[in-house]
Amino acid sequence: MISRLLCGTGLIIITLLTIYYSTWGPFRPFFAFGFVFLVGLVLWEFYQLTIAKGYDPLDKIGILTGMAYILSLFLIDQTPWLPFLVLGLSLFWSYSYCMVKGENPLADLSVTYFGLFYCAIPLGFIVLIDQSLTDARLWLLYVIGVTKLTDMGAFFGGWALGKHPLAPHLSPKKTVEGAIAGLITAVIASVILGSWLPLNIIPALILGLIIGGLAQFGDAAESMLKRDAGIKDSNRLPGLGGLLVIVDSLVFTLPLVYIYIKIVE
What residues does each domain of the chain span? 2-264
Q: Are 134 and 265 in contact (CB under 8 A)?
A: no
pLDDT at 11: 74
State how far the Cα of 90 lies from the Cα of 69, in Å rounded to an integer. Answer: 10
pTM flag (> 0.85)? yes
pLDDT at 166: 78
State how far the Cα of 144 lies from the Cα of 22, in Å rounded to an integer. Answer: 14
State how far the Cα of 227 lies from the Cα of 179, in Å rounded to an integer. Answer: 20
pLDDT at 255: 96
Name the nearest CA neighbour of 212 among 149, 259, 155, 258.
Answer: 149
Name the nearest CA neighbour of 62 among 74, 88, 44, 79.
Answer: 44
pLDDT at 62: 97
Q: Are 201 and 192 in contact (CB under 8 A)?
A: no
Q: Are 73 and 121 in contact (CB under 8 A)?
A: no
Average pLDDT by consecutive 10-residue portion of the chain (265 residues)?
64 78 80 93 95 94 97 92 96 94 88 96 94 82 93 88 77 85 96 91 95 94 89 58 86 95 85
pLDDT at 254: 96
Name the nearest CA neighbour of 44 among 69, 27, 67, 26.
Answer: 67
pLDDT digits (tens, 9 = 90+) for 201-230: 999 999 999 999 999 999 999 989 988 888
Strands 171-175 and 165-167: antiparallel
In total, the chain counts a number of residues equal to 265
pLDDT digits (tens, 9 = 90+) for 15-47: 778 887 877 778 888 888 999 999 999 999 999
pLDDT at 6: 65
pLDDT at 240: 54
Q: Are 261 and 226 in contact (CB under 8 A)?
A: no
pLDDT at 122: 96
